[in-house]
A and B are shown apart, each in its own frame.
Chain A
Amino acid sequence: MFKTLIFGFLLGIVGTIAAVYYLPVVDQYRESSIITVAPNGGNTEAFHMNIPMDRIMTGAPDQAEPVPLGLEWPDGETFSGLSAELFKIRNADDVVIGVASRVASESEKFGDSIEWVVHLPARGTLHISMPPESVDGIRRVGTVRAGTREFGPMHGWVSERWVANTDDDDEDAPDGRIELVTSLVGEFADEVPEETS
């Protein structure tokens, strides 16, 4: 019986360590990426935020109705030209796949700027910078400053536009949506892996 106990003890140690080693502790839920290939334009992917449903925060100086209710935006000269928004971000199938921040900054010293950070937990994060002026009266176009994980080797541009809802019949429909369209290309390595050559 003692031998059985020792066998069980060793089995318990090996089984637990094997379980800890092989079973994933974290398994992020993934939605399929909905990417199209533009002619000579890299990979295009469209994201959007339904307004006001997907707005998590709107922080700006002296706002009458802060979002969320009870938000205390810092006051003082440092924050006078700064406004920040936080959204849930959706893919083309209208499924929430991440979180995004949009910060607009007014500065006499550096000029005005708009920056986005799009964080998709299962894929990576994009940092996008764009000028406040639109290119055609509808869209702002900015560039990808940096990307992480899946987006690490990518660069390209991103457009932002407001699309108002025109369906007056549906009471639950959003007021409109902010649309972000990315057009990214990757960097190719100079060296060809041996197995493909």
Chain B
Amino acid sequence: MIRHLIALVIGVILGAVAAVALLYYNPLAARNRLSPLSVSDQEIISLAYSAVAQDAIVYTNDGESRVHPRPIKVQQLWEAPVRRTDVLVTVLSDSRNNPAGIGIKFMSDSERTRLINGEVLVDSAWHIVLPERGSLFMFQTENYWNFLRQIVVPAYWSSGDSWKGSWYGNTTVGPGALGTARVWGGFGEFAGLDSEAVESISARAYSVAEGPVAMEGRLTIEVVGRVESQAAELATE
């Protein structure tokens, strides 16, 4: 009887390990797709930022995560309703790498996360202010499955507790049907804008102790619709 029980327990453990391996190596899980905006013939705004928390103006979270808040004295989001939320305030640079404005990103773990589908989802919102052009509000669902699988887990497996390499991927997976974010205009020449965007990450180094060490984020925003007429109106004034 005891031998059967031991066999059952060993079988269950082996089965659980096999199931985790199946999920981890699931070939049907999220693939890195080409951004639909890469073939757009509309005007594109490209904004880059450092995705390293220590380069941010302000980065805050619950204070117990791998990525430490910055500056050290910043208030932490420890209350239960905001504990699974991170906030990043950063300088956004244009395609010539000149400072173009400020971006504030709110990121909350999504309850729609489904590991079985290869989905580690984050609901995020950007408040973007480009003083010389106007403001934008961007909402998206991001999937960090590929980032976790190809960077974070290998960093844990590494004897140096770090990952180095070259990784590029789009994190935006919705809410747009083609896996794009939704963008609305605020003031300035973007007033009335209703468009799409994609956020991508380019990583070169990651540390288990500190999180991203060398990583850049990029927002690719399509400028369409009423904005063109607004810009024309401004030009004629």
- CB distance A12 to B12 under 8 Å? yes
- CB distance A24 to B111 under 8 Å? yes
Contacts of A1 in B (CB 8 A): 3-4, 7
- CB distance A148 to B125 under 8 Å? yes
Cβ-based interface call for A137 (8 A): no
In chain A, positions 41-92 with a C-beta closer than 8 Å to chain B are 55-57, 59, 68-74, 76, 78-82, 84, 86, 88
Cβ-based interface call for A29 (8 A): yes
Query: Which residue, of B11, B81, B134, has the highest number of chain A Cβ atoms within 10 A?
Result: B81
Question: Which residue on A lies nearest to B90, using beta carbons?
Answer: A74
Describe B's contact surface by its main secondary structure.
mixed
Q: How many residues of B contact A (CB 8 A)?
A: 70
Q: Distance (Å) between the CB of A103 and the closest chain B CB?
A: 5
Question: Which residue on A lies nearest to B77, using beta carbons?
Answer: A99
Contacts of A74 in B (CB 8 A): 57, 91, 99, 102
- CB distance A73 to B115 under 8 Å? no
Complex interface bits, A98-111 against B, C-beta within 8 A gives 1, otherwise 0: 11010101010111
Describe A's contact surface by its main secondary structure.
mixed
The contact size tier of chain A is 35 or more
Cβ-based interface call for A188 (8 A): no
- CB distance B82 to A99 under 8 Å? yes
Select A101's contact among B3, B104, B114, beta carbons within 8 Å.
B104
- CB distance A98 to B82 under 8 Å? yes
Q: Distance (Å) between the CB of A135 and the closest chain B CB?
A: 18
Select B129's contact among A57, A76, A82, beta carbons within 8 Å.
A82
A70 to B56 Cα, complex, angstroms: 12
Contacts of B89 in A (CB 8 A): 57, 59, 84, 86
A47 to B9 Cα, complex, angstroms: 53
- CB distance B84 to A121 under 8 Å? yes
Q: Distance (Å) between the CB of B132 and the closest chain A CB?
A: 7
Complex interface bits, B1-44 against A, C-beta within 8 A gives 1, otherwise 0: 00110011111111111111011000000000000000000000
Write 29 A-B pairs (CB below 8 A) sorted by A numbering.
Answer: A4-B11, A7-B11, A8-B12, A10-B15, A12-B11, A16-B15, A17-B23, A20-B23, A21-B116, A25-B120, A28-B81, A56-B58, A57-B74, A57-B89, A59-B102, A68-B74, A79-B99, A79-B102, A80-B131, A81-B131, A88-B79, A109-B234, A115-B127, A117-B104, A117-B106, A119-B125, A127-B137, A127-B186, A129-B187
Q: Which 7 A-B pairs have the closest CB atoms?
A: A12-B15, A8-B11, A70-B71, A16-B19, A121-B108, A127-B137, A29-B80
